[in-house]
Structure 1
Amino acid sequence: MTPTTGVTFIGNATTLLRLGTFTLLTDPAFGPAGSRVHLGYGAWTRRRKDPAMSYADLPSLDLVLLSHLHGDHFDRAARRAVPPDLPIVTTPQARRRLTRRGFTATGLPTWDAREWRRDGQLLRVTAVPGRHGPGFVDRLLPDVMGSLIEWEVDGERRLRLYVTGDTLYRPGLADIRQRYGEIDVMLIHLGGTRLLGLLLTMDGRQGAELTGLIRPRLTLPIHYDDYTVMKSPIADFLGECRDRTLTGVRTLERGETVSLAAVARE
């Protein structure tokens, strides 16, 4: 197993994924603590914590995986830093906006996939469902997708990783496991984001419900305390998981790299 197989938590939903020969960046946001980002309809939020590194600190990237086009997932600092020719995989709605801004973007409808091959290895990214808000409110928010990332070596699956994106919990997310089988790792977006009293990302209870529904071998919580709109601390999620006797949950410090070799398939 390659020693570089792992995930580095940079902050909020920004992570660096090294899967064999492939290197991915998720939801790039590199603005400093104190910076403001706009969320649409005049709403904004302020960043509480600095990211662990800047874009300039990153290794060479193969692609950016963008769950949706919100300011806390693709901020002004990221827009300035991400090269226009670096592939961005995102929703069809975000693709249209990014293309107009000069970026190289691919939009994946739900359940569609894109593949890359190199040195006998395969990386497959499949868009899976996500809902950013309750009921009709979801239509007022940017389209969001989860991502199923599969890494294969010489035709053998080594890792299946689910990035939830900013979705709320719903039982229909069980389709992901039913379609693709066991999930090795889940990067779960939490925070209990609230605007005007409405819950827009999973809080601790919903996050634990999704963890029990998906039953990944390893769950890594992210996106829970970087911005002022996040109202559900990580302790809520950890407590709910303990109450449900859910195992395999591990927290990440900013800048920390966790090897995924233990959950990858030999």
Structure 2
Amino acid sequence: MHASSRPSTAAPGDLAEGSVYFIGNATTLIRYGGFTILTDPTFLHSGDHVHLGHGMYARREIEPACQVADLPPLDFVVLSHHHGDHFDEVAAEQLDKTVPIITTEHAVGLLSEQGFTQGHALDTWQSRTVTKGDNEVRVTSMPAKHAPDPVAGMLPPTMGSMMDFSRGSHRAFRLYISGDTLLHDRLHDIPQRYPGIDLALVHAGGTTLLGTVVTMTGSQAVRAVEIVEPRTAVPIHYNDYSVFQSGLDDIKRAAARSATSAKFHYLHHGETYHFRPGT
């Protein structure tokens, strides 16, 4: 692929409609306002194994919907954390080493070792703005907690992210990505600081390592949606690896019981969700 090191100065992108293409796990391709954004790139094939550290491995169960060579030129990547099931060896080998990657400080260090030259670290609530033509997107790091305290040190630090797309003083769309997280108190700060979320991509799956759940189960993912109050929620990260214990059916059952006003939209690999601001 031919990803540029910075967005081109193209004509202003259309803010009337955008899309989320679900590649698999937490890997999505977001296209809106002239921006093309890749999240948490993993492209290992079904049957391949990924190393999760401390002697732990996971088998990929579902084939990704596309490969790196199939991607359009990217403006940047948003990476929740540097872990084998979120930035795998295929991404490390095949992604353009000059593509900007917005992520945690921990991940920037590892990316640098892998030859990536445009890692941009954010701490919680810090932002980075990318401009393209008359449009801009501000990416802000959101609080996330990947594991209970007793095992937190076994997993890399992670972040959620908020993307605010705007033209001038007009904010057109607010998109939240939970990142790998459990339910925790700081999630309640998100709607206080960033109300009016249009779309949330919520990591679920009930990932279980050494008997400990380290990402939200289906019911917990729905509870997170109740907390952050988006207009629409799209669950991702729910069935790709052997360490996942809580699939899409769990989310659907919990959503059916929930009193949240959020609309749930369910994607399978290779499907695209099209969105329009205000609808």
TM over 0.5: yes
SS at match of 2:37: strand
- 1:22 match: 35
SS at match of 1:45: strand
Q: Could you tell me the TM-score, scaled by structure 2's length? A: 0.92
Distance 1:3 1:120 in 2: 14
- 2:265 match: 250
* Aligned: 1:112 with 2:111: no
* Aligned: 1:35 with 2:48: yes
SS at match of 2:43: coil
* Aligned: 1:86 with 2:75: no
Overall identity of the aligned pairs, in % = 42
State the superposition RMSD in angstroms. Answer: 1.3
| AA in 1 matched with 2:110 | R
- 2:71 match: 58
Distance 2:278 2:150 in 1: 41
Runs of 4+ in 1 over 3 A off after TM superposition: 1-4
Matched ranges for 1:1-266 at <5 A: 2=15, 5-103=18-116, 104-246=118-260, 247-261=262-276, 264-265=277-278
Please give the per-residue CA displacement for 1:61-114, whole angstroms capped at 9, x wherever unaligned.
000111001111111111111111011111001111111221021111111000
- 2:9 match: none
| AA in 1 matched with 2:111 | L
The runs of 5 or more residues in structure 1 that have no matched partner are none
Distance 2:223 2:213 in 1: 15
The runs of 5 or more residues in structure 2 that have no matched partner are 1-13
SS at match of 2:112: helix
Post-superposition offset of 1:205: 1.7
| AA in 2 matched with 1:69 | H
Q: Could you tell me the TM-score, scaled by structure 1's length? A: 0.96
Length, aligned pairs only: 264
Q: Is the 8 A contact 1:13 1:189 kept in 2?
A: yes
